[in-house]
């Protein structure tokens, strides 16, 4: 009889719930008395250790989702198989469940404490909106106008893009220009507020871009809208550290966008008549401060085109 060990014996500590037993072996025997002379049969005999302790049978292990995910990956690697779409979808569904459970609870809290308590207001919003603000803010996840400035549903028509930029009137159509047209000409907003912020990745991309940048890059093709702000920053702050140059450009780009707004004929007309005001805002989330200012249209009209705008009512909160 030929004995082939199944694997190297792993000796476990003598835990109370484990029964003492002999090691497991895999026994292969060749039977020469088989009725078939051309075929040899292998009789596989397996001796296994069986844990019979009731305490062990009752023990339940709670394994975290993250550990189970790693275990699945390791098992797949060991078997030489690539995780399929089914396995990935199953694991991702477990992870996403927690995220959407939290989101569900936040929504239900909003429904209970805000929506139901202000039912008449939300019924009016269901019929029409009349916001007083158009807000142009950065898409950065750290800059949420409603969170930092307390806008409630119906208060502000909001458009967010990388680096809170406003394209020129003559340039190709964009979603920002569509938002300007709709909010100013249809909703008749009374204020346009452009909000910039500290450590803006879009401005950093603009400031570090060489020339016109990579024409294949969507980011470069967009942020070069602010190249005048970059040029003005380089003209006055080229001797500063790159981080400080970016901080200067973050504010300069807001004013360049405000100046560009006056290049839209229907915006300039309403500002001139006094039915629309233009404002700039800068949110410093490092120190949690908000700087606000307003375009002085009368003073700005006397300036040469491209030389900047005059501002008033500057304050820091």
CATH assignment of the domain containing 149: 3.40.1050.10
Extract the tokens encoding 308. Answer: 């900047």
54: in domain: no
> Sorting pLDDT into bands at 50, 70 and 90, what band is 96?
low
Query: pLDDT tens, 179-191?
Result: 999 999 999 999 9
Extract the tokens encoding 301. Answer: 């009209």
Owner of token pair 């030389």: 307
Task: Report the pLDDT averaged over residues 240-255.
Answer: 94
222: in domain: yes
C-alpha 102/C-alpha 160 separation (Å) is 25
Overall number of domains in the chain: 1
1: in domain: no
155: in domain: yes
* 16-25, 62-71, 262-271: range with lowest mean pLDDT: 16-25
DSSP letter at 164 equals G
Residue ranges of the annotated binding site for Zn(2+) are 138, 140, 197, 200
Extract the tokens encoding 311. Answer: 């501002």
Task: Report the pLDDT averaged over residues 81-89.
Answer: 43
Q: What is the pTM of this model?
A: 0.68
163: in domain: yes
Distance of CA 196 to the CA centre of its chain: 18
> Sorting pLDDT into bands at 50, 70 and 90, what band is 260?
very high
Environment class of residue 24 by beta-carbon count within 10 Å: exposed (0-12), middle (13-18) or buried (19+)? middle
Residue ranges of the annotated binding site are 138, 140, 197, 200
15: in domain: no
C-alpha 114/C-alpha 235 separation (Å) is 50
Give pLDDT, residue 95.
62
Task: Report the pLDDT averaged over residues 233-250.
Answer: 92
State which residues form the domain around 180. Answer: 131-314
CA atoms within 13 A on the CB side of 306: 4
21: in domain: no
67: in domain: no
Return the C-alpha torsion angle 265, 271, 275, 278, nearest 10: 110
């Amino acid at each position: 009889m030929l004995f082939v060990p199944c694997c190297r014996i792993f000796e476990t500590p003598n835990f109370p719930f484990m029964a003492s037993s002999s090691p497991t072996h895999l026994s292969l025997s060749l039977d020469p008395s088989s009725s078939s002379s051309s075929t040899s049969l292998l009789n596989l005999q397996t001796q296994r250790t069986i844990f019979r302790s009731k305490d062990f049978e009752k023990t339940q292990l709670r394994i975290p989702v993250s550990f189970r995910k790693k275990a699945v990956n390791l098992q797949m690697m060991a078997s030489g198989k690539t995780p399929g779409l089914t396995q990935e979808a199953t694991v991702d569904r477990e992870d996403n469940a927690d995220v959407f459970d939290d989101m569900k609870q936040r929504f239900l809290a909003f429904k209970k404490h805000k929506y139901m308590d202000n039912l008449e207001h939300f019924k009016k919003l269901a019929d029409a909106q009349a916001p007083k603000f158009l807000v142009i803010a950065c898409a950065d996840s750290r800059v949420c106008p409603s969170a930092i400035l307390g806008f409630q549903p119906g208060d502000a028509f909001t458009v967010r893009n990388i680096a809170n930029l406003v394209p020129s009137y003559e340039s190709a159509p964009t979603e920002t220009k569509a938002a300007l047209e709709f909010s100013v000409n249809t909703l008749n907003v009374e204020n346009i507020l452009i909000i910039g912020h500290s450590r803006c990745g879009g401005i950093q991309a603009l400031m570090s871009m060489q020339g016109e940048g990579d024409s294949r890059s969507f980011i470069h093709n967009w942020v070069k809208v602010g190249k005048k702000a970059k040029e003005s920053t380089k003209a006055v702050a080229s001797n500063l550290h790159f981080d400080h140059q970016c901080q200067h450009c973050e504010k300069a780009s807001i004013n360049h966008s405000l100046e560009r707004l006056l290049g839209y004929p229907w915006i300039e007309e309403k500002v001139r008549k006094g039915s629309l005001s233009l404002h700039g805002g800068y949110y410093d989330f490092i120190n949690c401060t908000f700087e606000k200012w307003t375009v002085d249209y009368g003073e700005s009209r006397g300036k040469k085109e491209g030389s900047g705008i005059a501002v008033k009512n500057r304050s820091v909160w």
